[in-house]
Amino acid sequence: MNVDSVGIGDAQTAPPASETIWILGGGQFGKRAAVQLRKRSRSSTIVVIDPHPDASLPKDVEVVTVDGIEWLSEHFCPGTQVSKIIPALPVHMIAEWLRKIITEEGGSVYSPEIPNELFPHRLHPLRLKPGQFVVSHANFICPLNCSEPDDLCTYTQQPRPTPIYRILRRLDCGRFTPLILRSRQFAPGIGGFIPEDLWGFQKNVRALEGAPLLIGTACKCHGIIDSFCHRNNLSS
């Protein structure tokens, strides 16, 4: 079954003059995101969430020393005053956030094994776990400051192939339903989501209770996909 989730995470919005940004993860990539976003706005409130943050984070960011997924599940609620949420964790943020909130409500989640042949070879699929793959157009290390241009790859200077988020949405995934959220680019090499992205995605996942899903987040060139099947035990 194939569900094209185009529209979620696709619209581009202008940043407000002053905003609150959450960066989940305070290591190398979280620090880079904080530095780059601070350069873009001196008035933004930047909050970095990590139990063991990099000691050299910019001095003018707020640091919360707790687990990023714990923070997100506890503090991200309708009406929360946050403009951007940037994952910089060694886990798939969307999948782990959904898993946590569903299990905390009394539901159950499991991850069926993803078949090896599901993703085409041109996406350079790499299995990380039985129920998790990463895919990429690149067979090289991309520049950290890639601006994700529409026409040419910043590394090869060749025309860009079809964006990976579009390929994954249209992929014949057999018994799995793909739900793919596009990562927005907030600065060169720095992607994330706005609150509406996450609420819309959560709604789509909840509507498919009991169905084996492929939950993915992807930009034009890279993606991570988790298998995900949930049941609401409170209603069974």
pLDDT, average across residues 154-163: 91
Instruction: State the pLDDT at residue 9.
Output: 55
Instruction: State the pLDDT at residue 114.
Output: 97
Report angle CA 186, 187, 193 to the nearest 5 degrees.
20
pLDDT averaged over every residue in the chain: 90
pLDDT, average across residues 199-217: 96
pLDDT reading at 2 higher than 50: no
More confident residue, 147 or 63: 63
Q: How confident is the model at residue 191 (pLDDT cuts 50, 70, 90)?
A: very high
Kindly report the three-state secondary structure assignment for every residue of 149-160. Answer: CCCECCCCCCEC
3-state secondary structure of 201: helix
Task: Note the pLDDT tens digit of each residue in 126-135.
Answer: 999 999 999 9
More confident residue, 233 or 48: 48
Instruction: State the pLDDT at residue 150.
Output: 85
Instruction: State the pLDDT at residue 10.
Output: 58
pLDDT, average across residues 145-150: 87
3-state secondary structure of 56: coil
pLDDT, average across residues 189-193: 95
pLDDT, average across residues 13-35: 85
More confident residue, 134 or 15: 134
Tell me the pTM. Answer: 0.89
pLDDT reading at 101 higher than 50: yes
Q: How far apart are CA 69 and CA 199, in angstroms?
A: 16
Instruction: State the pLDDT at residue 149.
Output: 86
Identify how many contiguous H helices and E strands the chain contains and give both numbers: 5, 12
- Domains of the chain, by residue range, sit at 20-235
pLDDT, average across residues 107-119: 95
Percent of the chain with pLDDT over 90: 79
Residue linked to tokens 């929360």: 80
Q: How far apart are CA 4 and CA 10, in angstroms?
A: 12
Burial group, residue 67, by CB count within 10 angstroms (0-12, 13-18, 19+): middle
- The answer to whether 188 and 146 are in contact (CB under 8 A) is yes
Which two structure tokens, joined as six digits, stand for 5? 């989730």
